[in-house]
Amino acid sequence: MEQRNFTRITEFLLLGFSEESAMQPFLFGLFLSMYLITVFGNLLIILAVSSDPHLHMPMYFFLSNLSFVDICSISTTVPKMLQNIQTHSKVISYEACLTQMYFFLLFVALENFLLTVMAYDRFVAICHPLHYMVIMNPRLCKLLVLVCWVSSSLHSLLETLMVLQLSFCSDVEIPHFFCDLKEVVQLACSDTFANDLVMYLVSVFLAGGPLAGIFYSYFKILSSIHRISSAQGKSKAFSTCASHLSMVSLFYCSAIGVYMSSAGAQSSYSSAITSVMYTVVTPMLNPFIYSLRNKDLKGALKILFGSETKRGMYS
């Protein structure tokens, strides 16, 4: 049997999007702008929800948690990419790569679970409006968020520990702008069957389970809306779900696009470009999707900026 020497590597190389030096300033400015917009926009959502007593409701509690996750998610990948562009370096240490991978998997899974919990919240609000505050009590809301955190942490810990068991040879170039799990596993010299199997099973669980829950919730929601007699009532009920539906569509469509590009014959660079949609664009657009369609949130943001007095709000 052939013997192979596996060396203990100390670093990976993140190849990013372009080798051309002329493109680096443009990429730096583009991703820095998107990062600042994402952090600032989601931070405003958190501050608006926490400062306005009218928004101390389950829907906005989950939204503020989602905004926090979006800030953490983009902060896991983009700052390192910006640092590498600025320093003209592609190096990321082995430990930093696994740490980045752990937290990226954690926050992506968290967003997935939180979107499912938000769908359940809308289901209770529309299908059981008289019992909404009893069912969605503060204790249950905190418990649901805790379950999301625990489940996501266990998932990312499992995947990261399995990568720790792999051996790597001389090829340490990752054709991505961050340490993507699949790209890192593909670089391994040792057998990756167990890693591939776990990735597949976990993907089915993380995508199939929450997506089935979201579909079921909206099937029941649409059935309830259909039974509403007045057109105004139907419009009001649907408007409370429109923002969440937009966020779900954006997240899952971009994630499916990444999966299709990586499963097809496209290059890893194409997959990296596609992954920008759910790693950078989705967290950036979420605050706009919710704030532009929500009168209560827009009112809270106006108060936060001092363009509307609290007296006018509470009169």
Taking only the tens place, the pLDDT of each residue in 100-126 is: 999 999 999 999 999 999 999 999 999
Does a structural domain hold residue 6?
no
Q: Counting Cβ atoms within 10 Å, is residue 146 exposed (0-12), middle (13-18) or buried (19+)?
A: exposed
Choose among 237, 101, 81: nearest CA to 163.
Answer: 101
Here the CATH number for the domain that contains residue 115 is: 1.20.1070.10
What contacts 43, CB < 8 A, 6 or more positions away?
67, 71
What contacts 276, CB < 8 A, 6 or more positions away?
none
Contact between 41 and 125 under an 8 Å Cβ cutoff? The reply is no
Share of the chain above pLDDT 70, in %: 90
Does a structural domain hold residue 260?
yes
Does a structural domain hold residue 4?
no
Does a structural domain hold residue 229?
yes
- pLDDT class of 307 with cuts at 50, 70, 90: low
Listing DSSP states for 74-128 in one string gives HHHHHHHHHHHHHHT--EEEHHHHHHHHHHHHHHHHHHHHHHHHHHHHHHHHHHS
The domain tally of the chain equals: 1
Choose among 11, 169, 124, 148: nearest CA to 66.
Answer: 148
- pLDDT class of 315 with cuts at 50, 70, 90: very low
Taking only the tens place, the pLDDT of each residue in 205-250 is: 888 889 999 999 999 998 888 887 777 777 777 777 888 888 888 8
Does a structural domain hold residue 5?
no
Taking only the tens place, the pLDDT of each residue in 77-104 is: 999 999 999 998 899 999 999 999 999 9
Choose among 70, 35, 67, 36: nearest CA to 50.
Answer: 67
Note down the domain range covering 245: 11-314
What contacts 308, CB < 8 A, 6 or more positions away?
299, 302
pLDDT of residue 17: 80
Does a structural domain hold residue 132?
yes
Share of the chain above pLDDT 90, in %: 50
- Can you say whether residue 207 is alpha, beta or left, with left for phi > 0 and alpha for psi between -120 and 50 degrees? alpha
Does a structural domain hold residue 270?
yes
pLDDT of residue 314: 44
Contact between 214 and 122 under an 8 Å Cβ cutoff? The reply is no
pLDDT of residue 265: 46
Which position has the higher pLDDT, 315 or 194?
194
What is the rounded CA–CA span in Å between residue 54 and residue 69? 23
Contact between 297 and 304 under an 8 Å Cβ cutoff? The reply is no
Secondary structure of residue 11 in the 3-state scheme: strand
pLDDT of residue 37: 96
H or E segment to which residue 12 belongs: strand 11-14
- pTM, 2 dp: 0.89
Average confidence score pLDDT of the chain: 86
pLDDT of residue 270: 67
Does a structural domain hold residue 2?
no
Measured from the Cβ of residue 223, the count of other Cβ atoms closer than 10 Å reads 11
- pLDDT class of 261 with cuts at 50, 70, 90: low
